[in-house]
Amino acid sequence: MNTPARAHPPRALLASTVVEELKRAIEDGDLKPGERINEATLATQMGTSRGPIREAIRVLTGMGLVTPVANRGVFVRQISVPEMIEIYELRALVFGYACERATEFMTAARLKTLQSLMAQMENAAKSGRGAVYYEANLRFHKCVLEFSNNKRAARTYEDCVKELHLFRRPAFNYAAKMTRSNQEHRAILEAMASGKGAQARRIGEQHVLSGRQRLLESLHD
């Protein structure tokens, strides 16, 4: 017996597709900070019902990319520069802590994982692929937090990262800035590989604060 073809993709798959499309539109600036997201318009443009759009919006809200406002709708998240600076300061402290802890629990396999990500970022920087660098950079930092063996620290750090997505991605569109960032990753890894936890912590904190400075330069540009 032949199984009849389904007319539409599964609901979960469709919602995940909408998430990726909206995420890309927000991060690329097609949807601007403060812009209202119209469910009906998006459903028509994407050829789907409003259900998957609503599911996607819930996911994006959790990612810190959109903000629901009672009786008004859903808007692309806006973060002020002072807010961004505060988040970076917290992020620096948590990442520095994670670098020190990850040094304590470092293994050959974990070090190899971080070195592989650093190599991916080096290649992306050389070829000027900012989006590729950005994603590998996110994975590098996420791994450091995972290797710290502190789930609460990892959750706190992830919350900071979610809020900063709208600011950070454009900062990785310059080869020189990507190269400087990865040089800092190399210094962190060298300290970790040598078992110098306190040094890894200092370099890790400074790496995040240097990233903040690179971001402020990008905003100025």
Q: Answer with the one of 76, 96, 117 that is the final residue of a domain.
A: 76
Distance between CA atoms of residues 178 and 165, nearest Å: 16
Q: Quick one: 139 and 56 in the same domain?
A: no
Residue 100 lies in a domain: yes
Distance between CA atoms of residues 110 and 98, nearest Å: 14
Q: Answer with the one of 44, 76, 108 that is the final residue of a domain.
A: 76
Q: Which of 176, 144, 9, 163 is nearest to 86 (CA)?
A: 163
Tens digit of each residue's pLDDT (9 = 90 or more) over 188-203:
999 999 999 999 999 9
Tens digit of each residue's pLDDT (9 = 90 or more) over 106-131:
999 999 999 999 999 999 999 988 88
CB distance 98 to 158 below 8 Å: no
pTM reported for the whole predicted model: 0.75
Q: Which of 110, 116, 124 is nearest to 181 (CA)?
A: 124
Q: Quick one: 85 and 167 in the same domain?
A: yes
Number of folded domains that form the chain: 2
